């Protein structure tokens, strides 16, 4: 179990490993392009080599890519949906070139579409994304907080999407579980008993073999409020006892965790990493 945060790629992706090491990361997450639009920077041989050299020089065990904010595989707008499919496939290929372990994506909003139809649209989009893909990077679906018409907040919906993927494509797929999103969607993570119950449910519905990484975020919003607002570790409604229990859960001992917490008057990412590492050092 290793910890990290989402870091900047200002100056190029090759700068990310040093940015991660400076904060105290053991692993890290990044964007490989602007999260708000525009073409992706070209990954030259020199940039790729520099990135891989910097990974080793800064003792980073793994790196992950988050897809841009504008991704929406559930959109009724063909242009938005097709652009999302193209960008995700590009990110998979870019991750494979860089030697990044996996990419994760939000699935999007089904606004104006009947829910079952939206799930079918997402499934069709993922089939297109993975058609002919032979790269090494894994493709992870991130659970949502359940606000509005956003798809993928329940384990059942994630299962419905994953079970449509067949053949070798299934082997490159998995789930990134966001603790704030899960808590907002009605999966209680405040005690060891409830964490066990939630993981048991995940295992029964999806299978723990599909759980590849965790976004470890506390929640500003109360339980089951369907609101996505991240808080510093131990300062939200999940609380320090919840994260202590999460890190002590034996089934998660090989799952790496990325904090996506804010830098504000209440704390910063480096502080959250220190809290997580302290909880890990005090594991039973």
User: Which of 22, 69, 193, 263 does the annotation list as catalytic?
Assistant: 69
Residue 255 lies in a domain: yes
Q: What domain count does the chain have? A: 1
User: Which of 6, 94, 181, 237 does the annotation list as catalytic?
Assistant: 181
The predicted structure's pLDDT at residue 111: 83
Average pLDDT over residues 258-284: 91
User: Which of 36, 46, 114, 264 does the annotation list as catalytic?
Assistant: 36
Residue 282: pLDDT band (50, 70, 90) is: confident
The predicted structure's pLDDT at residue 173: 97
User: Which of 26, 54, 218, 228 does the annotation list as catalytic?
Assistant: 228
CATH number of the domain where residue 211 is located: 3.20.20.150
Active site residue 133: no
Give the tens place of pLDDT for each residue, 17-64.
999 999 999 999 999 999 988 899 999 999 999 999 999 999 999 999
Give the tens place of pLDDT for each residue, 141-165.
999 998 889 999 999 999 999 999 9
Active site residue 203: no
From CA 191, how far away is CA 169, in angstroms rounded?
36
From CA 197, how far away is CA 201, in angstroms rounded?
6
The predicted structure's pLDDT at residue 130: 97
Q: Which domain holds residue 184?
A: 61-281
User: Which of 106, 232, 237, 244 does the annotation list as catalytic?
Assistant: 106
With b for 16 or more beta-carbon neighbours within 10 A and e for fewer, the 170-183 pattern comes to eebbbbbbbbbbbb
Residue 2 lies in a domain: no
User: Which of 81, 215, 232, 237 does the annotation list as catalytic?
Assistant: 215
User: Which of 33, 89, 230, 232 does the annotation list as catalytic?
Assistant: 230
Residue 277 lies in a domain: yes
The predicted structure's pLDDT at residue 266: 87
User: Which of 62, 164, 260, 274 does the annotation list as catalytic?
Assistant: 260
The predicted structure's pLDDT at residue 250: 96
Contact predicate 257/233, CB 8 Å: no
Residue 205 lies in a domain: yes
Residue 169 lies in a domain: yes
Give the tens place of pLDDT for each residue, 67-116.
998 999 999 999 999 999 999 999 999 999 999 999 999 999 988 788 88
Reply yes or no on whether the pLDDT at 128 is more than 90. yes
Active site residue 232: no
Active site residue 64: no
Active site residue 237: no
Residue 140 lies in a domain: yes
From CA 102, how far away is CA 172, in angstroms rounded?
9
Average pLDDT over residues 6-26: 97
Reply yes or no on whether the pLDDT at 272 is more than 80. yes
User: Which of 178, 218, 231, 272 does the annotation list as catalytic?
Assistant: 178
Residue 29 lies in a domain: no
From CA 158, how far away is CA 141, in angstroms rounded?
8
List the structure tokens of 229.
């607002």
Give the tens place of pLDDT for each residue, 196-232.
999 999 999 999 999 999 999 999 999 999 999 999 9
Reply yes or no on whether the pLDDT at 283 is more than 80. no
3-state SS of the chain is CCEEEECCCCCCHHHHHHHHHHHCCCCEEECCCCCCCCCCCCCCHHHHHHHHHHHHHCCCCCEEEECCCCCCCCCCCHHHHHHHHHHHHHHHHHHHHHCCCEEEECCCECCCCCHHHHHHHHHHHHHHHHCCCCCCCEEEEECCCCCCCECCCCHHHHHHHHCCCCHHHHHHEEEEEEHHHHHHCCCCCCCHHHHHHHHHHHHHHCCHHHEEEEECCEECCCCCCCCCCEECCCCCCCHHHHHHHHHHCHHHCCCEEEECCCCECCECHHHHHHHHHHHHHCCC
Reply yes or no on whether the pLDDT at 170 is more than 70. yes
Residue 150 lies in a domain: yes
User: Which of 54, 91, 142, 231 does the annotation list as catalytic?
Assistant: 142
The predicted structure's pLDDT at residue 103: 98
């Amino acid at each position: 179990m290793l910890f990290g945060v989402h870091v900047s790629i200002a100056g190029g992706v090759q700068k990310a490993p040093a940015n991660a090491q400076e904060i105290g990361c053991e692993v890290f997450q990044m964007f490989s392009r602007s999260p708000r639009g525009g073409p992706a920077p070209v990954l030259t041989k020199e940039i790729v080599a520099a990135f891989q050299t910097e990974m080793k020089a800064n003792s980073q065990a793994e790196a992950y890519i988050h897809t841009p904010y504008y991704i929406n595989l559930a959109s009724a707008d063909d242009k938005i949906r097709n652009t999302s499919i193209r960008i995700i496939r590009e990110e998979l290929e870019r991750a494979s070139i860089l030697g990044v372990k996996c990419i994760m994506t939000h699935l999007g909003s089904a606004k104006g579409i009947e829910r079952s139809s939206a799930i079918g649209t997402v499934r069709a989009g993922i089939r297109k994304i993975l058609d002919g893909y032979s790269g090494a990077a894994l493709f992870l679906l991130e659970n949502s907080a359940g606000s509005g018409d956003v798809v993928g907040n329940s384990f059942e919906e994630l299962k419905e999407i994953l079970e449509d993927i067949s053949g070798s494509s299934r082997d490159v797929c998995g789930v990134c579980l966001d603790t704030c999103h899960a808590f907002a969607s009605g999966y209680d993570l405040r005690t060891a008993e409830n964490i066990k119950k939630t993981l048991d449910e995940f295992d029964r519905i999806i299978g723990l073999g599909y759980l590849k990484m965790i976004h470890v975020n506390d929640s500003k919003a109360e339980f089951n409020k369907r609101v996505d607002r991240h808080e510093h570790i131990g300062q939200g409604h999940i609380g320090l006892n919840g994260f202590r229990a999460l890190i002590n859960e034996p089934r998660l001992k090989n799952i790496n965790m990325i904090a996506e917490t804010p830098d504000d008057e209440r704390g910063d990412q480096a502080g959250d990493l220190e809290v997580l590492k302290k909880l890990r050092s005090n594991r039973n």
